[in-house]
Structure formats: structure tokens, C-alpha cells
Chain A
Amino acid sequence: MSLDPPTYLSSLQNNIRARPIPWDGAVRAGTISENQLSKIRAVDKVRKEQRKLTVEDDLESYRILFLGSQETPSVLESAAKRADVIQYTLVLLGDLLDGRNAH
């Protein structure tokens, strides 16, 4: 969206960004794969410019991470039962699409 997000929305996003996610546990539980986690970590809580370079360097992997492919489900699908992971992923994707700051 081109207009500034309403306060309600930005405070919700800030809360979710600040929430710790037990990522390693999610991998052990099979909610997400090692590979999905490494793609998330590479862009999570890093500077905007760095994040942009990382994604632009590996567009195919990020497309598969968020949308899935014939063989692999999207992280939004594989983590369907984990509301915290879904919320975090949605905020992260929104940040990548809109260029919002990670903090």
C-alpha cells in the first residue's frame, strides 16, 4: 500500500516482529524444513539493503519458500498449524514486498 499503514496495523506488525519464534523446535517438529529456515534467517533482522541483495540473488528459492513448487509446499502451508510461524512469515513477506524496516 502506498499510504502509511494505520496505527493498529503497524503496532500489530511490530508486536509480531518482536516475538521470539522457537525456529529450531519448529524444524525438529517438522513444521518447516532446514532449508526454509535458512532462507528465513538470511533475511530476518538484517539491514534493508542486505536483505534486498540476498533476495535478489536467489529469487527462485524465495518464491518457493513463500509460494511453494510442485514438489515443496509453501512455508505458509507446511506451518499451517503454527499460528506464530504463519504470522511471522506474513509480516516478513510484507516487509520484503513493501520495503518496511525490520525494526
Chain B
Amino acid sequence: MTGIPALSKALSEHHDPYKPFLPLLAQSNNPEDPIPLLTSTVLTSLITALPDSPNGTSALPKLFSYLSTLTKIPDGGLQDIAVLEYSALLRGKQSRELFWHQRKETVGPLIDILRAAAGVSNGDSASTLWNGSTSGRSIEGSLGGGVGLQLLYHVLLVLWQLSFEGATIGDGLEE
């Protein structure tokens, strides 16, 4: 997609480019409220358009917090939006470190999605998929726990992106 790079640049040169957006991110606890959702997509576009902007990372902690609320609700559509935005944001080293710093909020729910997909809940370690032997029960693009294949793929993509910071987080991911 080609937008207007000159506009992204002009916006990033503002002394406080994220100020009008941050209150909109936090204005509602309803995950289906379109305003924070649309705000998060605009912020993601702005931040990823200029990875080297000095202001670039200042909005990330709040953006990650908001997106993490979407990953925690049982709605595959909203979860997928959040995980795709994560993926776009995690192209930068600094954002991967910030994401990891907030891992209880950010990574935790992604692991829960993987567990649901593997049919493990509440430490049910008897699941066949979790133990590595497939049972051939997954058909029609959905795995255990109603997790869509596309969402699962995007979650794995995010965890793979995080693995680029192996030196910092390798041991933590093992856990």
C-alpha cells in the first residue's frame, strides 16, 4: 500500500504527534468500541511509517496495553486485528524490547491462544497436540478451542519476530 509518505513525515515532526490519540485509546472499556480500535490502527500506521523517528516509541506502551485487551477477549476477529498490529509494530528492535518488557500483558494472552488451539486448558497436559502427536481432528481451518488457523499463524509470526531478541528474551520464552 502506498499512502502519502510526506504526510507521515510531516506528522512525525510535530512536537507531540501522539497527544490527540492517546486519550482516545483509553476512553472506553468496551472492546467493540470503534474509536480506540480505529485509533490503534492509525497509531500503528504512523509508528511503522517512520521506524527511525525519535518519538516513535513513546506511544508504544499504551498502544501495546490497549491491543493486549483485545487479545484477551474470546473474539477471533478482534484478536486477529490486535495480533496483526503487533506484527507490524515488532519490526523494530526497540519495539520488540518494549513488548517483551510488558510481557505479562502482551505475551501471556498469546500463549493462552496457543494453548487453546492445542486443546489445553487449565494445565490439561494430556492434550495430544500439545504433546506433539497430532490426532488429525483439525479440519475446516480451525483447531481446538475454536482458534482460527489465520489467527494461530499470526500469533506464531509475532513469537517468531520476538525471537530476534534471543539474547534478551530467549530464556524467558523457554518458560
**A binding-site residues for B, Cβ under 8 Å:** 1-3, 5-9, 12-13, 16, 51-52, 55-56, 59-60, 62-63, 66-68, 73-74, 76-77, 80, 83, 86-87, 90-91, 93-94, 96-100
- Shortest distance between the CB of A58 and any CB in chain B (Å): 10
Given contacts A8-B81, A66-B11, contact A3 B4 (CB under 8 A): no
B10 touches A97 (CB 8 A): no
B167 within 8 A of A: no
B45 touches A97 (CB 8 A): yes
Q: Name the B residues within 8 Å of A86 (CB-CB).
A: 24, 35
A63 touches B42 (CB 8 A): no
- Shortest distance between the CB of B17 and any CB in chain A (Å): 6
Cα of A7 to Cα of B3 in the assembled complex, Å: 20
B3 touches A96 (CB 8 A): yes
Cα of A83 to Cα of B24 in the assembled complex, Å: 10
Q: Name the B residues within 8 Å of A87 (CB-CB).
A: 34-35, 38
B141 within 8 A of A: no
Given contacts A62-B10, A90-B42, contact A7 B77 (CB under 8 A): yes
Q: Name the B residues within 8 Å of A13 (CB-CB).
A: 38
**B binding-site residues for A, Cβ under 8 Å:** 1-4, 6-8, 10-11, 13-14, 16-17, 19-21, 23-24, 34-35, 37-39, 41-42, 44-46, 48-49, 77-78, 80-81, 84-85, 87-88
User: Contacts A1-B41, A83-B35, A96-B4 given; 7 further ones with Cβ under 8 A?
Assistant: A2-B1, A7-B77, A55-B7, A80-B23, A94-B45, A96-B3, A99-B1
Q: Name the B residues within 8 Å of A100 (CB-CB).
A: 1
Cα of A87 to Cα of B33 in the assembled complex, Å: 10
Q: Write the chain B residue with the least CB distance to A61.
A: B10
Cα of A93 to Cα of B44 in the assembled complex, Å: 12
- Shortest distance between the CB of A100 and any CB in chain B (Å): 7
Cα of A38 to Cα of B65 in the assembled complex, Å: 35
Cα of A12 to Cα of B37 in the assembled complex, Å: 10
Given contacts A6-B80, A83-B35, A86-B24, contact A62 B7 (CB under 8 A): yes
Cα of A83 to Cα of B81 in the assembled complex, Å: 21
B41 touches A94 (CB 8 A): yes
A90 touches B38 (CB 8 A): yes
Q: Name the A residues within 8 Å of B78 (CB-CB).
A: 8
B34 touches A1 (CB 8 A): no
Given contacts A6-B84, A59-B7, A63-B10, contact A99 B2 (CB under 8 A): yes
Cα of A1 to Cα of B1 in the assembled complex, Å: 9
